[in-house]
Amino acid sequence: MRRTLALLRRRVLGVVPVFALVVLGAFLLLEAAPGDAVDAYLAGVGGGDAAQVAALRTEWGLDGGPLPRLVAYLSALVRLDLGWSSAFQRPVLEVVLERLPNTLLLMGMATLLALSLGSLLGIVCGARPGSLRDRALSLAAIAIYAMPGFWLGLVLIVAFSVELRWLPSGGMETVASGLSGIDRAIDIARHLVLPVLSLGLVYMALYLRLMRDGMAELWGQDFVRAARARGMTGARLVLRHVARNALLPVVTMLGLQSAAMLGGSVVIESVFAIPGLGRLASEAVSRRDTPLLLGVVLLSAIVVMLVNLVVDLSYALLDPRVGSGTGG
Amino acid sequence: MRAPFPALPLARRSLLAGAAAFSMPRGAWGATPKRSGRLTVAADSEPPNLNPAIIASNGVFFVASKVIEPLAEAAYDGRDGLAPRLATGWEAANDGRSITITLRQGVTWHDDRPFTSADVAFSAMEVWKKHQNLGRAVFRELEAVETPDAHTAVFRFAVPTPAQLIRNALPVVTSVLPKHLYEGTDIMRNPANQKLVGTGPFRFAERRHGEYTRLVRNPTYWEAGRPHLDEIVYRVLPDRAAAGNALEAEEIQLAAFSAVPLADLDRIGKVPGIKVISSGYEGLTYQLVVEINHRRRELSDVRVRRALAHAIDRDFVVRTIFRGYAATSQGPVPKNDRVFHAPDVAGYGFNPARANALLDEAGYPRGADGVRFRLRLLPAPFFNETRQFGDYLRQALAAVGIEAAIVSNDTPAHLRAVYTDHAFDIAVGSPVYRGDPAISTTILFQSGLPAGVPFANQYGYQNAEVDTLIRQAAGTIDDAERVRLYRAFQKLVTDDVALVNVAEFSFITVARDNVLGVSSNPRWAVSNWADLGFAG
């Protein structure tokens, strides 16, 4: 318990400079992009006269230089105020919190699918590396991994929504359906099947490879040979001794993947018209809405940090060597 | 389309020539729609401020025109090309100083308050004139709106104002707001800018950002028996392929504004149960133009600009890039505006030999590498077609010895580069023709504008004669004289090649066969849809 708390404290403290870097980086990138939120707004409404343009820049706080803007943003941020979104004309916090659950649901389900199916098939392959079963599955996994997620998504839509009409082609749930409780949950689940498949299958291949290769390597290790010499065979040997030890790199990858999956969800959210954080980030960039982008980036950083924290804690469960002796 | 919706033009009766062949919907015109049903349509943009009295743009009107009505709407038939909405009559005084508007009686707001001339006076003086992107120019000289009774509004102008211009602008700039919800508030931040309250056939129900906006039938609409539909749902579909797929899967019944890309029309037009309609947008004409930076030494020579105009094969552009859904163009007023269009402007046909000769004559011979000079070419990212035309233009210019390097930007960066920083040599743009040259066309040629005003003359073009004509026409109240001045203006700027006009284009609607009443007027996609319904 003490070890866990120490880890937690270390993580939270370590994350402050990371957040500062992330905010500064995103801010500078958007500053470096030519054009501002008023330019983006004017393109949308078809122009405006000089007085109107100047008034808008003043109202949106864009008439000063980047430094005063950054200072103003940071001083609001320490009071936990994420600012005002010019693209949505609403508080940033409200906009991002509205989108967060959708992204978490999509990412969570896709990760669950990728991790469970990937490690399961990885064990099947790794139980007998080099077998026909292993080769066929590995080849299929590589093929899926080579597909761009959005393309897989479009193919799934054409097959299952347009041709077979089994599943909806997009959206988070049926529009103004009036459903509630379990019916609504089923409705949302039906909408999530295709996006979760497109996002999850691609990452599944990664876990499969990792699991399989880890296991293939372990078969030659002394402790496995020793176990065999003791007469251990079959599922017990594969699962308790080989697979469990191959699981560590898989869990490591899970932490790394949570960040990559947030990136991948930008495309999937657009293809399937899911109002999530990824799409919001791309909108924020194209509308030059700096506070909104920083809000999305910060929230994503928090999500990634939390996932990695869970990953670190689960190391300790999987491998008693982790964290012992150092006292943290 | 993925583009922003630059605000829109007005009604003119004819069709784009290239699109005429596709214009008749295959559905039954005569059938009466039944009174029920939810229509789900594709939407790709979500304007944060939905108030059409403040932001007169297609993106806003697409949703808001069903809730908030203008004084008059564009019509294929009818006096002045208009159909009455909240106004039933409009009469201009001979001195051009006032227009008397007669208002419809028995109209109520969605919150059951009566609609009166006070609402019109308030909207005009406090909203259109002060806040609206187009109204700030059109109503600049509006002095007062008098309300002698509850159903008459008299617009008084400080200087003689052409009634023709006001009439042409009515559908776009006169969305009427309820005074009782806006008076004494911060108009730009009024909550009713999102939760709209109007007099229209549909009431605003709810909006979920990134998902949908829902409108419901107004049971107390002033026009008996309208609207037919119970609900309109705008489903946000950000992916280019999504609208086509959703139509095929029958999840949506209609996609307007070319939400189904031109490239997919051939395929989707053959799907049973789906119709492709290219009419209903005559009042929303976009112009494909080459914008020229006259500050650049080579381009300040009119012979070089004429060479550019001769280097472009307009028929090829219409046929290939627009797949026939457009018309070629030679001047700043589109052909479908029969009143103002000057047919006798200088034409620059496709003639590379002439272009080469002009460039030689101007003193820019080909170098050893065959290149005369190099240009930066900035295609606007607003439409697929503006980007594709950029690629075509690069090749067309290479054929006459001009090497153009394409600079790609996203929308805000493009606006900044062209209209503020002037960091371009040539650019591809898509200005909108709004039914009267005075609304947003002359500003592309008039000199002396400060940097940073977009969709305007940031080109360094200056011709005193043109400036005089523009000023003169703005104060001319006689219809025929105005037309004569604007025709002279077209000749002048075309001779000068201030810009190169290449094509005139608009949008395509794709709908399920059972949707009736599509394209019933020249601004159909941004009109009130009271007559839209499902086959019985």
For every residue of A55-80, DSSP letters joined together read HHHHHTT-SS-HHHHHHHHHHHHTTT
Cβ–Cβ gap A88/B249 under 8 Å: no
Q: Mean pLDDT over all residues of chain A?
A: 87
Angle, helices B479-496 vs B464-474, to 10°: value is: 160
Q: Scanning every residue of chain B, which has its alpha carbon at the shortest distance from the alpha carbon of A41? A: B412
Q: Mean pLDDT over all residues of chain B?
A: 91
Q: Scanning every residue of chain A, which has its alpha carbon at the shortest distance from the alpha carbon of B61? A: A45
pLDDT tens digits for range B438-487: 999 999 999 999 999 999 999 999 999 999 999 999 999 999 999 999 99
Is residue A328 a contact partner of residue A7, using CB atoms and an 8 Å limit? Answer: yes
Compare CB distances from A161 to B206, B245, B415 and report the shortest one's residue: B245
- The complex scores an ipTM of 0.88
Sheet holding B142-149, edge to edge: B87-92, B98-103, B152-157, B142-149
Indicate whether B15 pLDDT > 50.
no
Is residue B262 a contact partner of residue B384, using CB atoms and an 8 Å limit? Answer: yes
Give the Å distances, CA to CA, from A77 to A20, A85, A100, A303, B24: 11, 14, 19, 18, 57
Is residue B17 a contact partner of residue B327, using CB atoms and an 8 Å limit? Answer: yes
pLDDT tens digits for range A128-186: 888 999 999 989 988 988 988 889 999 999 999 999 999 999 999 888 788 888 999 99
Distance CA A272, CA A234 (A): 43
Is residue B117 a contact partner of residue B103, using CB atoms and an 8 Å limit? Answer: yes
Q: How confident is the model over B371-386, as a mean pLDDT?
A: 96
Distance CA B450, CA B447 (A): 9
Q: Scanning every residue of chain B, which has its alpha carbon at the shortest distance from the alpha carbon of A276? A: B210
Distance CA B157, CA B169 (A): 15
pLDDT: is B128 or B238 the higher one?
A: B128
Low-confidence ranges of chain A (pLDDT < 50): 325-328
* Chain B touched by A318 (CB under 8 Å): no
Residues from chain A that touch B274, judged by Cβ atoms under 8 A, are: none
User: Exposure of B130 by Cβ count < 10 A (0-12 exposed, 13-18 middle, 19+ buried)?
Assistant: middle
Q: Scanning every residue of chain B, which has its alpha carbon at the shortest distance from the alpha carbon of A172? A: B211
- The reply to whether omega before B227 is within 30° of 0 (cis) is yes
Compare CB distances from B412 to A40, A52, A162 and report the shortest one's residue: A40
Block residue for tokens 């008059």:
B72
Give the per-residue pLDDT at B24: 42
Cβ–Cβ gap A34/B6 under 8 Å: no
The number of CA neighbours under 13 Å toward the Cβ of A21 is 6
Cβ–Cβ gap A165/B236 under 8 Å: no
Amino acid occupying residue B85: R
Q: What's the gap in Å between the CA of B89 and the closest CA on chain A?
A: 29
Number of inter-chain CB pairs under 8 A, A vs B = 165
Indicate whether B50 pLDDT > 50.
yes
| Residue B328 DSSP SS3 | strand
Is residue B9 a contact partner of residue B333, using CB atoms and an 8 Å limit? Answer: no
* Chain B touched by A80 (CB under 8 Å): no
Is residue B393 a contact partner of residue B320, using CB atoms and an 8 Å limit? Answer: no
Cβ–Cβ gap A47/B242 under 8 Å: no
Cβ–Cβ gap A286/B411 under 8 Å: yes
Q: What's the gap in Å between the CA of B131 and the closest CA on chain A?
A: 8
Surface of A (260-289) touching B: CB under 8 A:
270-273, 275-276, 279-280, 286-288
Residues from chain A that touch B139, judged by Cβ atoms under 8 A, are: none
pLDDT band at B222 (very low <50, low <70, confident <90, very high): very high
Indicate whether B48 pLDDT > 90.
no
Q: Is the sign of the CA dihedral A273, A278, A284, A287 positive or negative?
A: negative
pLDDT band at B31 (very low <50, low <70, confident <90, very high): low
Give the per-residue pLDDT at A327: 40
Residues from chain A that touch B236, judged by Cβ atoms under 8 A, are: 273, 275
Bridge partners of B206?
Answer: B214
Residues from chain A that touch B56, judged by Cβ atoms under 8 A, are: 46
Q: What's the gap in Å between the CA of B219 and the closest CA on chain A?
A: 20
Task: Mean pLDDT check: name the lowest of A241-250, B9-18, B383-392, B495-504.
Answer: B9-18
Q: What is the DSSP string of B119-156?
A: HHHHIIIIIIHHH-TTHHHHTTTEEEEEEEETTEEEEE
Distance CA B512, CA A17 (A): 55
Cβ–Cβ gap B452/A50 under 8 Å: yes
Tokens linked to B527: 């009109």
Residues contacting A49, CB < 8 A, separation 6+: B136, B137, B453
User: Exposure of A313 by Cβ count < 10 A (0-12 exposed, 13-18 middle, 19+ buried)?
Assistant: middle
Q: B344: how many CB neighbours lie within 10 A of its CB?
A: 10
Q: What's the gap in Å between the CA of A92 and the closest CA on chain B?
A: 13
pLDDT tens digits for range B320-343: 999 999 999 999 999 989 899 999
* Chain B touched by A152 (CB under 8 Å): no
Compare CB distances from B7 to A33, A46, A161 and report the shortest one's residue: A46
Distance CA B470, CA B489 (A): 7
Is residue B229 a contact partner of residue B217, using CB atoms and an 8 Å limit? Answer: yes
Bridge partners of B287?
Answer: B504
Angle, helices A50-59 vs A37-45, to 10°: value is: 130
Residues from chain B that touch A171, judged by Cβ atoms under 8 A, are: 211, 235
Q: Scanning every residue of chain A, which has its alpha carbon at the shortest distance from the alpha carbon of B235? A: A175
Is residue A34 a contact partner of residue B412, using CB atoms and an 8 Å limit? Answer: yes
Residues contacting B509, CB < 8 A, separation 6+: B254, B255, B256, B257, B276, B277, B278, B280, B518, B519, B524, B525
Q: Scanning every residue of chain A, which has its alpha carbon at the shortest distance from the alpha carbon of B211? A: A275
A79 φ/ψ angles, rounded to the nearest 5 degrees = -90, 15
B130 φ/ψ angles, rounded to the nearest 5 degrees = -95, -35
Distance CA A192, CA A160 (A): 13
Give the per-residue pLDDT at B95: 92
Give the per-residue pLDDT at A15: 81
Distance CA B158, CA B126 (A): 17
Nearest CA to B408 out of B421, B427, B395 is that of B427
Q: What percent of chain B has pLDDT over 70?
A: 94
Q: B77-110 burial, b if ≥16 CB within 10 A, otherwise e?
A: eeeebbbbbbbeebebbeebbbbebbbbeebebb
Compare CB distances from A89 to B48, B211, B233 and report the shortest one's residue: B48
Which helix H or strand E contains B429, and what residues bound it? strand B426-429
* Chain B touched by A212 (CB under 8 Å): no
Q: CA B23: distance to chain centroid?
A: 19
Cβ–Cβ gap B6/A157 under 8 Å: no
User: Exposure of B464 by Cβ count < 10 A (0-12 exposed, 13-18 middle, 19+ buried)?
Assistant: exposed
Q: Nearest 5 degrees, angle CA A192-CA A193-CA A195? A: 65
Give the Å distances, CA to CA, from B455 to A35, A44, A57, A197, B343: 15, 12, 18, 44, 25
Q: What's the gap in Å between the CA of A44 and the closest CA on chain B?
A: 5
Q: What is the DSSP string of A166-181?
A: -S-SS-SS-TT----H
Residues from chain B that touch A165, judged by Cβ atoms under 8 A, are: 249-250
Distance CA A284, CA A274 (A): 16
* Chain B touched by A46 (CB under 8 Å): yes
Distance CA B358, CA B310 (A): 10
Task: Mean pLDDT check: name the lowest of A30-34, A186-190, B212-216, B232-236.
Answer: A30-34
Residues from chain B that touch A90, judged by Cβ atoms under 8 A, are: 48
Cβ–Cβ gap B212/A175 under 8 Å: yes
Compare CB distances from B246 to A52, A169, A172 and report the shortest one's residue: A169
Is residue B182 a contact partner of residue B51, using CB atoms and an 8 Å limit? Answer: no
Compare CB distances from B248 to A98, A162, A275 and report the shortest one's residue: A162
Compare CB distances from A154 to B47, B241, B249 and report the shortest one's residue: B241
Q: Scanning every residue of chain A, which has its alpha carbon at the shortest distance from the alpha carbon of B6? A: A46
The structure's pTM equals 0.90
Cβ–Cβ gap A43/B415 under 8 Å: yes
Cβ–Cβ gap B239/A40 under 8 Å: no
Distance CA B18, CA B325 (A): 6
Q: B295: how many CB neighbours lie within 10 A of its CB?
A: 12
Residues from chain A that touch B187, judged by Cβ atoms under 8 A, are: none
Residues contacting B346, CB < 8 A, separation 6+: B330, B491, B494, B495
B504 φ/ψ angles, rounded to the nearest 5 degrees = -120, 130
DSSP for residue B504:
E
pLDDT tens digits for range B302-323: 999 999 999 999 999 999 999 9
Pairing of β B373-379 and β B402-406: parallel
* Chain B touched by A139 (CB under 8 Å): no
Cβ–Cβ gap B246/A53 under 8 Å: no
According to the per-residue pLDDT averaged within each range, which of A198-212, B39-53, B148-162 is highest? B148-162
Block residue for tokens 């999509």:
A106
Which helix H or strand E contains A139, and what residues bound it? helix A132-145
